[in-house]
Amino acid sequence: MKKNIFSVLLFIIASTFLLASCAKKKAEILTKEWLVKEAKYAGMQLSEEMVSGKLTLRSDSTFSRLEAGQTSDGKWALSADESKIVLTFNDAGDKVEYLITELTEEKLIIKGKEMGMDREYTLAPVPAKK
Q: Are 63 and 77 a contacting pair, CB within 8 Å?
A: no
Across the range 45-57, mean pLDDT stands at: 87
> Over the chain, what is the mean pLDDT?
84
Buried b (16+ CB within 10 A) or exposed e, 68-78: eeeeebbebeb
Does residue 22 surpass a pLDDT of 60? no
H or E element that contains 123:
strand 117-125
Q: What whole-number percentage of the chain has pLDDT above 70?
A: 82
Closest CA to 62 of 49, 70, 53, 71: 71
pLDDT at 65 over 50: yes
Question: What per-residue confidence (pLDDT) applies to 4?
Answer: 57
Domain covering 25-125: architecture: Beta Barrel (2.40)
DSSP annotation of 80: T
Per-residue model confidence (pLDDT) at position 73 = 96
Banded pLDDT at 49 (limits 50, 70, 90): confident
pTM passes above 0.85: no
Half-sphere exposure at residue 49, Cβ-oriented, CA atoms within 13 angstroms: 0
